[in-house]
Structure 1
Amino acid sequence: MSSSTSRPEPATVSADRPPGRRERNKQDKLHRILEAATELFTEQGYSAVTTQQIAEAADVGIGTLFRHAGSKAGLLMLVMNEQLRLGVERGLALARSGAAPTDAILALVTPLVDASSRHPENTAVYQRETLFGTGPERETATAQVARIESAIEEILRSRTTSRPAHDLDRAAHAVYSTMYMDIVRVCVGRAPADDLTLRLRGSVDHLLDALLPPAAGETRTPPGRGRSRG
């Protein structure tokens, strides 16, 4: 479905006024659709799931389903966009609680790693639609990339206080790009999925040590300490 197709925007609700019945019903249906689509895509994979299955599992009509996402690919985009949003929240929460930078960074992309391990086609379709798709789901997906890179930069800032912002920005871009390519290689069958997390951890550790070596007088946790290997 083209991005020019109009789709109702969520109503703006005043802070001192609860949402009306129509808005509550709309959000309830969207929640059920997301839950159903998440479960079905996770268990069966993109190709095996039909939009009719999702509509029935969510207890909504097929027309309602397509008002929230214009296609099956759009439904997968809705699911993955939400999972990545939660991944960013988890990664930043880890960093702010004092977790090792590598652990926090890996948490950001855990939804993509999990999807690639269970059903590589889910991640492959998501990446294809992010690059070449149309519509609001694609716009949200491209915005997620920027959010992930910004989150990596924030995590790196917690690792070092002596680096200028442009150094951290470039380092964050390099880290995300490397992780992205490792994930894509699994999606297209060029690398096994069972050791993806271990390979990502090795890549991130190496990049952080290479791109952000300790500045003069700066102390740094030695490699391997404080990093979960599980």
Structure 2
Amino acid sequence: MDAAVVVPAYNERAAVSRALDALAGQDAEVVVVVGGDDGTETVAREHAATGRVVRDEAEDGPAAARNQGARATDATVVCFTDADTVVPPGWVARHLSHYHDRRVVGVGGPLRPLDGDRTDEALFKLLSDYWYRVSWPVGFVQASGNNCSYRREDFLAAGGFDESLPFMEDTDCSLRMKARGRLVYDPHAWVRTSVRRQREEGYGGLFLRYAIGYVRYALGREPGSRYFRDW
């Protein structure tokens, strides 16, 4: 079974090398979807781990970039992570191991803070692991966009990430994919991701933003924030 890793990277020159370093040696084609004008494209093209660079001319957010990357490969399974995220050794293999079950159409895992402190570690454990362990079994699956994978054929047939959503597009995608088969939460398939949004917004602000977004989404309304458009 073959895999590709799609990495959306908008003005991420300072971070993308570290992300690509972690993807070197993973058994997958690495597709970097590049936007912005800070030299990220040059860094991505010159990195040994990069298999393909796709220029995102529309620059319409991470959902569109991820979809573009998924269309650019023909791998059976597409894994998604971000340019400010570092995956551990064996991350792709961990995701792939679940797809031997033909019923499985998607896999998600927890987030850990990258260069965070003890407070970050504790809050990430609560909000990006324990919460998932509780919500997934009752059907509220939330595969984070920087740590998820899908069978490409099913992902594209379902329409991929909804490009009209300003955020929560990853939750929306995983909930729609649930209708096509089984989604697995693997607590050992973790990644480390930047805490810069938490630093800028604060955990309280982010929690409130998402809580409101979840309620609006459950009521069939747009989540109500343009904040994450500036990816």
TM-score between the two structures when normalised by the length of structure 2: 0.27
> Whose radius of gyration is greater, 1 or 2?
1
More relative contact order in 1 or in 2 (CA 8 Å, sep 6+)? 2
Q: Whose strand proportion is higher, 1 or 2?
A: 2
| More helix as a share of residues | 1
> If the length of structure 1 is used for normalisation, what is the TM-score?
0.27
